[in-house]
Amino acid sequence: MKHLQNRKIAWALAALMMVASIFGLGGMKLGSARQKVVTAFFTGRDGFSPYDDLINRREYAYNLLHIAEDASLQDTPSYTAAHAAWQQLDSAKTPEDYYEANIALQTAIDALYSELSSLESLDEKAEVMAAKQYSDFCGRMSNLQYDDYYNELAMKYNQSCKGFPAGLIASITGNGPLPTFREEESK
């Protein structure tokens, strides 16, 4: 009890309690705000969400991989890279994972489609199917870029993480910025 009567100890305890409350309450508030944006990523609004667009991109990429297999491209670097990127997207769990996997998948599918479309041995049906799958794959990227609901929520959340002490609290509590799918605003 004598220790509590010492002013230095009392001030240190008061400062410690203040810091703990700022980080505790601030972390909870940021965590709650972040969770709302993560929920918007997965559920979206009016039936549209980044998650759904990414799952559709995964399916179009899968179809392109099968067309490439039918064209005997499974031993090529472009097929291997596209398959690895597809697996990365397939195993993604968080918006950050999906964002990174989507970038890898776009690059890999672009290369695979380029190789597919340059094949002279590709029959007309497979060529038309590959063009359709690639077009739909790219179309879903446009949806991701122009999804105002999620992207604006993520940008607003990210902006709130830039100030002090929110930025410090976000980095310490694991409530850092979320990716957007707009080129000018991405991570």
Is residue 45 classed as helix, strand or coil in its secondary structure?
A: strand
Per-residue pLDDT reduced to its tens digit, 114-132: 999 999 989 999 999 999 9
177 phi-psi bin (left φ>0, alpha ψ -120 to 50, beta other): beta
Q: Over the chain, what is the mean pLDDT?
A: 87
Sequence-separated contacts (24+) of 49-55 with Cβ below 8 Å: 49/147, 49/150, 50/95, 50/98, 50/144, 50/147, 50/150, 50/181, 51/98, 53/140, 53/141, 53/143, 53/144, 53/147, 54/89, 54/92, 54/98, 54/102, 54/140, 54/144
Q: What confidence score (pLDDT) does residue 179 get?
A: 95
CB 147 within 8 A of CB 50: yes
**Cα–Cα distance for residue pair 88/135, rounded to 1 Å:** 21
**Cα–Cα distance for residue pair 144/152, rounded to 1 Å:** 12
**Cα–Cα distance for residue pair 57/183, rounded to 1 Å:** 18
Per-residue pLDDT reduced to its tens digit, 63-79: 999 999 999 999 999 99
CB 92 within 8 A of CB 51: no
Q: What confidence score (pLDDT) does residue 187 get?
A: 47
| pLDDT digit string (tens) for the chain, length 187 residues | 565 567 777 666 666 666 655 555 556 677 788 999 999 999 999 888 999 999 999 999 999 999 999 999 999 999 999 999 999 999 999 999 999 999 999 999 999 999 999 999 899 999 999 999 999 999 999 999 998 999 999 999 999 888 777 666 767 777 889 999 986 554 4
